[in-house]
Amino acid sequence: MLVRGREFRLYKYYDESLGEELIRYPDFQEEPKYDDDGRPFVLAVQESCEYGMDDDDPDDDDPGDCNGCAWFFSEEPHAPIGVCMCGELRREECMK
C-alpha cells in the first residue's frame, strides 16, 4: 500500500481463534513512522489521541478512532492507513 510516497507492505495471516484470514497492519504506536513533512502515519482504526476532533462536533474531544477525527487525512476513501495532520503531533526534525 502506498501512502504519501511511503510503501507499507501488508500481509495476510490466519487467526485460528477467529477462524479467518486477517491483514497485519503496521503498529505505528509501537514503531512510529513519519512522512516527509514530519506528520505521523496512523491507522484509521487506531484509538484517537488527546488531540482528536470530531468533524461533526468540534467540541467533542473523543471521536473514537482516527478515522472519525478531523485531523485524519487519507488519499483514498476508506483507506486503512492515513496521516495525522494535527500540528501538535508533527515532528519538525523529520521535515525536509
Q: Which residue has the cell 521535515?
A: 95
pLDDT averaged over every residue in the chain:
89
Q: Does position 21 have pLDDT exceeding 80, yes or no?
A: yes
**Element counts in the chain: helices (H) and strands (E):** 0, 7
What is the tens place of the pLDDT at every residue in 39-59? 999 999 999 888 888 766 666
**Domain-embedded: residue 80:** yes
pTM of this structure: 0.83
The phi and psi torsions of 8 (rounded to 5 degrees) equal -120, 120
Domain membership of residue 20 (yes or no) is no
The domain tally of the chain equals 1
For residue 68, being part of any structural domain is answered with yes
Residue range(s) defining the domain that contains residue 34: 27-96
pLDDT at 52: 84
Contact 30, 83 (CB under 8 A): no
β-strand partners of 14: 21
- The cell for 59 is 467540541
Mean pLDDT within 3-29: 95
The verdict on residue 5 lying in a domain is no
